[in-house]
Amino acid sequence: MISPRTLPALLLAAVLLVPMAAPTSAAPPGRAPATEAAVVVPTQWQISGSGFGHGVGMSQYGAKHLADEGWSARQILAHYYAGTTYDAVPDTQQVAVSLEQSVAQSRLVGRATASGGGTLTLTAGSRTVSAPGGATVVVTRSGSSVVASCSSCSWAPLTGSRITVTTWAARTDLEVSGSLYRYGRLVLTPSAGSGVHAVLWVRLHDEYLDQIREVPWSWPSSALQAQAAAARAYAMRKISGGLRPECACHVTDTVADQVFHPVPTGGELAAWPRWQAAVRATGSSSTGYVPRYGGQVVEALYSSSNGGWSLDGGEVFGAARPYLRSRYDPASLGAENPYRSWTRTISQSSLAAAFGLPDVVRLDLSDRATGHAVATARATSSGGTTATLTGVALRQALGLPSTALRRADARTSGAGAPGLAVAIARSVPTSATSVVLASQYEQDALHALVAQPLAGTLDAPLLLTGRRGLGSATTAELDRRGSRVRTAYVVGGPTTVEDGVLRALRSRGLVVVRLGGSDVDSVAAAVLQQISARRTVRAVAVTTTTGRSAGAAFSGTARRLREPVVVAGSTQLPWRTRAAVGRAGVTSAHLLGGIAHVSEAVEDSLTGAGLSTVRLPGDDDAEVAGRVGEHFVRSVGGTEVVLAPAGSARVLHRAVAGGLGEVVLVGAAPLPGATAAALQRAPSWTRVRAVGTTQEVPTAWLWAARES
């Protein structure tokens, strides 16, 4: 079993961000094809998840959390082992614990704990010898026998098919290769190879259970009692199965079975009585509590934590048990659990080797078992070859803590579009000296999209305003930012944002700069001019009024890369925008969407003007967003991706969502294939952030994205 005390430290490594290219398509006669990015193979992947261990049965950290909430051991065990009872049963059986397997030699020393102690008694067949306290006995293999030698003893080497070592437990501890044990008898036998097995035979009731180290003994009493009952049941099932030939034992002393450690010392010794009390919860010297199903002791599997759902035993181990069923278990993700979330950096070579592929450019983890763990993982190489592994096999191959692989999640929401803009603005430091304001109405959503790269250039928040007034949410955010804000850029002319709003801003002591007039052409041109005055602009993104719904997901990329967004007509850029593009020295353009969004005529006009073009095609919002995400993931950077709703009624929502400066993808039910593909091709995204309320971005969408 997995012990929380043996969990390794979390390793959080650096992220390498790698894009995937859009597939190329043939260009119509007479026109050069739009440029497409080449496929880039990631050098490493970030894989995130939750939980530690196989996840079947009891979660140890979950048991602690429930105990902290006042649950009894009976209730905890019934929660994790469905339909079971909590019963006292006889537990005086002998259990054989493997201390060493197939070792070249086993070194034994008797250590006195009281006057007259320290002697070891060794027996092979009819011969018995003694080694005084402190003398080292070395047991090795000779043919089909084991041989005990002691250079400081008077007796000749002891040889036999087995050697049994006993002590006076009240006065002697037995040291086995440096570890001290107080109880039982040690049996040494030849292993199947050329080594020696060292197996300690102890009584289950106390001698074995007293030295189980599966959880800290400082945990609540009911959690300790639940652990003791599970450990007892686990051992009883192993005893009933007989000795295992590979170790001549019932159980090993490691996490492969249950952690069985030497006699406690130091601070651990002070806590030992708490654990012993849990072991002896029945108050009897010959019985102990176990969970039973239908009157039979259960196979009480457990692990450190399960990632929020216990897993079905049949799906993990191939043998179904009615009491080992998957169930929701939020207790396993309590704050005390260091593995409630984790991230591992996996090299490209390791991931490719696990799947037997030359490389991996897409990792699909969407096939899930009952408990939301990965059932089957599918990898795709740069050459298009696919290969699969079970979740269990993937965990083993990569050394992952669990099979509950999923991205972390977060949510940012606000009341209406202005409230959402304010919530997102909280991510912009209050040291910002400027704010950018755009219209809060859906019909003006292109203004918010055009405004994002300016806000990024100024390191300023994008806020929304009404036509005649700032609105309470925006006013409150300006109040919070106080006098540090000195300039307000209003994106849109008087028909969009009336002069009264500007007067209100000036009354706050702000310098107000209005950008644009009555049409979006003038707005885009004015914003481009502001950006180019502050930085070199080599590329612009191109959308249209008809393609605005698809293009809106460019907002986060536009803000992070500070790439201006211009709005084309049906055949070309309007004259003001063309002039601004020329003055800025723009050399390339990203076309947001397919030809239904940005026409071939617009593309021809751009290439005719000497600009290179990259089309990011798609038939709908999700496809365009996915293509944008795949194309820009390396450039945008970051470990987080934004999930926003699709649809022509949510264009403003997606434009505002870009204020976080992350790639924006589109959610829907079911999760769009293009969205899933973008997530699966991005080896750096370890968190999905829903932008909007649970009505706007339902939890089911968020979970689908997390588990894609």
Q: What is the pLDDT of residues 292-320, one digit of tens each?
A: 999 999 999 999 999 999 999 999 998 89
Q: Helix (H) and strand (E) counts for the chain?
A: 20, 37
Measured at the CA of 141, the angle between CA 140 and CA 146, to 5 degrees, comes to 85
582-607 residue pLDDT tens: 999 999 999 999 999 999 999 999 99
- Record the tokens describing residue 394, joined without a space: 């993937």
pLDDT at 12 over 50: no
Instruction: Please list, in sequence order, all residues whose beta carbon lies within 8 angstroms of the beta carbon of residue 32, skipping any fewer than 6 positions away.
Output: 607
Categorise residue 113: left if φ over 0, alpha if ψ from -120 to 50, beta otherwise.
alpha
Beta-carbon contacts of 479 under 8 Å, excluding residues fewer than 6 positions away, are none
Q: Which residues pair with 166 in a beta bridge?
A: 121
**10 or 349, greater pLDDT:** 349
* Mean per-residue pLDDT, 526-532: 97
Tell me: the pLDDT tens digits for 622-660?
999 999 999 999 899 889 999 999 999 999 999 999 999
What CA–CA distance (Å, rounded) separates 48 from 46? 7
CA–CA distances in Å: residue 706 to residues 337, 364, 403, 641, 676: 20, 11, 14, 10, 10
Token pair for residue 223? 């959690």
Render pLDDT for 118-144 as a digit per residue (tens, 0 to 9).
999 999 999 999 999 999 999 999 999
Q: Determine the Cα–Cα distance for residues 114 and 544; give it in Å rounded to an integer.
A: 90
From the list 413, 394, 412, the residue with the least C-alpha distance to 404 is 394
List the one residue out of 144, 136, 180, 183 whose CA is nearest residue 162: 144
Q: Looking at residue 670, what is its pLDDT?
A: 94
Question: In DSSP terms, which residues pair with 103 in a beta bridge?
Answer: 196
Which one is predicted more confidently, 192 or 572? 572
Q: How far is CA 99 from the centre of its chain?
A: 35
State residue 39's pLDDT score: 76
Q: What percent of the chain has pLDDT over 90?
A: 92
What's residue 26's pLDDT? 39
Which among 495, 519, 533, 555 has a CA at the least distance from the CA of 691? 555
Confidence of residue 1 (pLDDT cuts 50, 70, 90): low
Q: Using alpha carbons, select from 528, 546, 520 the residue that is nearest to residue 452.
A: 528
- How far apart CA 121 and CA 123 sit, in angstroms, is 7
Above 90 in pLDDT, residue 40?
Answer: no
367: pLDDT strictly greater than 60: yes
- Minimum mean pLDDT among 5-9, 111-115, 146-150, 338-342: which range? 5-9
**Are 297 and 235 spatial neighbours (Cβ–Cβ below 8 Å)?**
no
d(CA 336, CA 272): 22
Contact (Cβ atoms closer than 8 angstroms) between residue 575 and residue 519: no
Residue 60 and residue 216 in contact, taking contact as beta carbons nearer than 8 Å: no
Q: How far is CA 359 from CA 267, 639, 676, 677, in A?
A: 50, 22, 20, 17
Q: Where are the alpha helices (DSSP H) in 251-345?
A: 266-279, 313-317
Quick one: which H or E segment has residue 652? helix 651-657
The answer to whether 160 and 120 have CB atoms below 8 angstroms apart is: no
Residue 405 DSSP code: B
Q: Are 231 and 214 in contact (CB under 8 A)?
A: yes
**DSSP 3-state of 97:** strand
Side chain identity, residue 273: P
Of 120, 222, 137, residue with least CA distance to 174: 120
Q: CA–CA separation, 654 vs 634, rounded Å?
A: 21
Q: What gap in Å lies between CA 435 and CA 455, rounded to an integer?
A: 7
For 151-156, which contacts have Cβ atoms below 8 Å and span 24 or more sequence positions?
Answer: 153/129, 155/129
* Backbone phi and psi for residue 529, each to the nearest 5 degrees, phi listed first: -65, -40
pLDDT of residue 38: 62
Q: What is the pLDDT of residue 448?
A: 98
Q: Given a cut of 70, is residue 499 above it in pLDDT?
A: yes
**pLDDT recorded at residue 682:** 94
Query: In the predicted model, is pLDDT for residue 458 greater than 90?
Result: yes
pLDDT of residue 146 exceeding 50: yes
Close Cβ partners of 617 (under 8 Å, ≥ 6 residues apart): 22, 25, 591, 593, 594, 623, 624, 627
pLDDT in tens, 564-576: 999 999 999 999 9
Spatial distance between the Cα atoms of 619 and 35, rounded to a whole number of angstroms: 19
User: What are the tens digits of pLDDT across the range 252-306?
Assistant: 999 999 999 999 988 899 999 999 999 999 999 999 999 999 999 999 999 999 9
CA angle at 295 for the pair 293 and 297, rounded to the nearest 5° = 65
pLDDT, averaged across the chain? 93
Of all helices (H) and strands (E), which one includes residue 362? strand 362-368
pLDDT digits (tens, 9 = 90+) for 328-360: 999 999 999 999 999 999 999 999 999 999 999
